[in-house]
Amino acid sequence: MERYKILEELGDGTCGSVYKARDWRTNEIVAVKKMKRKFFFWEEYWRLREIKVLRKLNHPNIIKLKEVVRENNEVFLIFEYMNYNLYQIMKEQRRPFSEDEIRSFMSQLLHGLNHLHRSGYFHRDLKPENLLVTNDVLKIADFGLAREVSSVPPYTEYVSTRWYRAPEVLLQSKLYTPAVDMWAAGAILAELFNLSPIFPGESEIDQLFKICCVLGTPDLTIFAEGTNASRLYGIINYEKILPANLSDIIPNASPEAIDLIQQLCSWDPSRRPAADESLQHPFFHVGWVPHSLRDPLDLKLSIMGAKPTLELKLSDFGAEPEDCFLGLTLAVKPSVPEFDVVHDVSQHIKEDSLFCSGLEDHTGRSVFWSLMPPDQGGIRAPVEPSFSLSFSSIQHTSVRVPQSAGFSIPSLQPNILDGPLSAMSSSFPQSHCL
């Protein structure tokens, strides 16, 4: 670890302390996560969930694990450095985010989630602090609680930070799925509008109560066998709570955004859209420029065939392809008031470079290698006192970003229905390493 000069502490989580550091050799700034527990054997840290998961993932919206160092039975994870987390950004935000800014954050979150879920994992602890941001590029971090989709339930009850915890987890279901991440994504979407959490429960029971106040009481038949629905009886006394009007709670959200939040935050996990389905939601189509419009020739054909008629003035076109593109942009714009074609075209071109599937596929191959030195056939402790592994890193094009109202729902005081863990009320929710 002499290679890294620690500059400052960035965070002190349950599993590790995270530091900003400089790599002496390259001058690169990195984030070093020093794991709190000691690791005496290679097998132990090979099994460490964060390493296990991250070595399989390579996506522009998932934090890059660059290296793992083991020294004196301590393990250090070296990550690419990110300037902020989304919680810090929301806290500092002095005006509501525009819907475009929210779309950009959410689109990146959902692309990262889609990759994670398709790779066979779910995160289980999505929250604004675990979404890291640099130059408006968002990356999912902290895979300490991630699970394989194919892993065998029952899962432990205490997962994910309370405010973002899905109802089936709160109701102690042992059979939850990646849909828990979709719930958290819905809660984060709502929070991006209001700049305050939508379900800020003060205990697990209060969490369920807060959800009931927004979504109304659920149909209890939707919950899988083994769910402890009696937790809800304690709150509602068998009385029905009607759903609130989400537009009153999130007044600055468009109807499309409200609809997406409603779908993601469905009581019934099976009704929540998957990440790729969410990306198809009309919320992401506001101001959308069809793919064909990004190519000048297709643009011309597309516009000629389009109804309502758009005026094309040939005089606007020059001989160069760039002129043609710009000319069309200018010609189209006047007949589509309030629709900023230049802005949207450029934005989607930028997104292309971030999310193109080709990038994922190519970069995916070079990232992780065996955690053993080449001459070792099995997983054994190395002779050297310190050993490290390097991983490749990718540079990303930056996409630009960046409010709000608060609303309050009364709180239920913790009661006897809360387990010992859930009864703990903290100013900020916590999660645990498994």
Which sequence positions are flagged as catalytic? 125
With DSSP H G I counted as helix, E B as strand and the rest as coil, what are the percentages for the chain, rounded to 5?
Answer: 40, 15, 50
* Residue matched to tokens 């193109």: 356
List binders of ligand ATP among 19-48 (CB under 6 A).
Answer: 31, 33
Are the beta carbons of 159 and 166 closer than 8 angstroms?
Answer: no
Tokens of 35: 């794991």
Handedness of CA 246, 247, 250, 253 (dihedral sign): positive
Size of the site for ligand ATP (CB under 6 A): 22
Nearer CB in complex with ligand ATP: 16/402: 16
Nearer CB in complex with ligand ATP: 49/333: 49
Shortest spacing between CB 380 and ligand ATP, in angstroms: 28
Nearer CB in complex with ligand ATP: 80/99: 80
Q: Is 18 a residue that touches ligand ATP (CB under 6 A)?
A: yes
Stretch binding ligand ATP (CB under 6 A), from 78-86, 105-113, 291-299, 344-352: 78-86
User: Which residue from 17, 15, 275, 264 is spatially nearest to 144, judged by alpha carbons?
Assistant: 15
In the list 1, 3, 7, 11, the residue contacting ligand ATP (rule: CB under 6 A) is 11
In the list 21, 62, 75, 82, the residue contacting ligand ATP (rule: CB under 6 A) is 82
* Displacement of CA 360 from its chain's centroid (Å): 17
Total residues belonging to the chain: 434
Shortest spacing between CB 359 and ligand ATP, in angstroms: 20
Are the beta carbons of 125 and 145 closer than 8 angstroms?
Answer: yes
In the list 141, 182, 261, 417, the residue contacting ligand ATP (rule: CB under 6 A) is 141
Q: Is 194 a residue that touches ligand ATP (CB under 6 A)?
A: no
Give the integer Cα–Cα distance in Å for 167 and 252. 26
Q: Is 273 a residue that touches ligand ATP (CB under 6 A)?
A: no
Q: How many CB atoms lie within 10 A of CB 1?
A: 17
* Residue matched to tokens 């793919």: 291
Nearer CB in complex with ligand ATP: 11/234: 11
Shortest spacing between CB 336 and ligand ATP, in angstroms: 41
Stretch binding ligand ATP (CB under 6 A), from 112-120, 129-137, 180-188, 253-261: 129-137
Q: Is 13 a residue that touches ligand ATP (CB under 6 A)?
A: yes
Shortest spacing between CB 37 and ligand ATP, in angstroms: 11
Q: Is 144 a residue that touches ligand ATP (CB under 6 A)?
A: yes
Nearer CB in complex with ligand ATP: 85/227: 85
Q: Which are the contacts of 215, defined by CB distance < 8 A and separation ≥ 6?
A: 243, 244, 265, 267
Nearer CB in complex with ligand ATP: 62/212: 62
Q: What is the DSSP letter of 62?
A: B
Nearer CB in complex with ligand ATP: 34/300: 34
Give the integer Cα–Cα distance in Å for 391 and 79. 10
Handedness of CA 305, 306, 310, 315 (dihedral sign): negative
By the 10 Å C-beta count (0-12 exposed, 13-18 middle, 19+ buried), 374 is classed as exposed
Tokens of 125: 């602890």
> Helices H, strands E: what count in the chain?
15, 11
Closest residue to ligand ATP using C-beta atoms: 13
Q: What is the DSSP letter of 290?
A: P
Per-residue binder mask for ligand ATP (CB under 6 A), 205-244, x = binder: ----------------------------------------
* Residue matched to tokens 């005026």: 311
Q: Which are the contacts of 10, defined by CB distance < 8 A and separation ≥ 6?
A: 18, 19, 20, 31
Give the integer Cα–Cα distance in Å for 230 and 393. 49
Q: Is 57 a residue that touches ligand ATP (CB under 6 A)?
A: no
Q: What is the DSSP letter of 374?
A: T
Q: Is 90 a residue that touches ligand ATP (CB under 6 A)?
A: no
Q: Is 15 a residue that touches ligand ATP (CB under 6 A)?
A: yes
Stretch binding ligand ATP (CB under 6 A), from 136-144, 205-213, 350-358, 400-408: 136-144
Q: Is 63 a residue that touches ligand ATP (CB under 6 A)?
A: yes
Q: Is 16 a residue that touches ligand ATP (CB under 6 A)?
A: yes
Binding site for ligand ATP (CB under 6 A): 10-11, 13-16, 18, 31, 33, 63, 79-82, 85, 129-130, 132, 141-142, 144, 431
